[in-house]
Amino acid sequence: MPYKEQKIEKLFYTIGEVADMFDVNTSLIRFWEKEFDIIKPKRNKKGNRLFTKQDVENFYIIFHLVKERGLTLDGARKKMKENKDDTINNFEVIKALQNIKSLLLEVKESLG
């Protein structure tokens, strides 16, 4: 039986890694952390922020609402409080459709 290397998931991400994921400055990550109470990073002994996978997923939702859909911070905060489940479901549907689109574009490119 051949050895399959397992993908290693990180438990915590630094603020720099999170900023790189979204191609934004670390100051924006700190700002969103203050503005949205759903983001609660852990801190190490030095005081550095350590974000969990759940925090990163929340950042994806906030990024989608603010940067892609164009909502204000107040609008995004209100949407997260009022319809958090609907917002998450809509985001997951959009993410799945984007994955399907990229897969279809790869197939089209390989055929043509």
19, 4 in Cβ contact below 8 A?
A: no
pLDDT given for residue 25 in this prediction: 92
Phi, psi torsion values for 50, nearest 5 degrees: -125, 115
pLDDT given for residue 58 in this prediction: 87
Chain segment 59-95, per-residue pLDDT in tens: 888 888 888 888 898 888 888 887 777 777 777 888 8
Taking the C-alpha atoms of residue 74 and residue 51, their distance in angstroms, rounded to an integer, is: 23
Q: How far is CA 60 from the centre of its chain?
A: 2
Q: Which of 26-35, 39-48, 76-85 has the lowest mean pLDDT?
A: 76-85
pTM to 2 decimal places: 0.69
Taking the C-alpha atoms of residue 86 and residue 23, their distance in angstroms, rounded to an integer, is: 26
In the structure, what pLDDT confidence band is assigned to residue 6 with cuts at 50, 70 and 90? low
Domain ranges for the chain, please list them: 13-111
Query: In sequence order, which ranges of 23-69 are alpha helices (DSSP H)?
Result: 26-35, 53-63
CATH classification (class only), 13-111:
mainly alpha
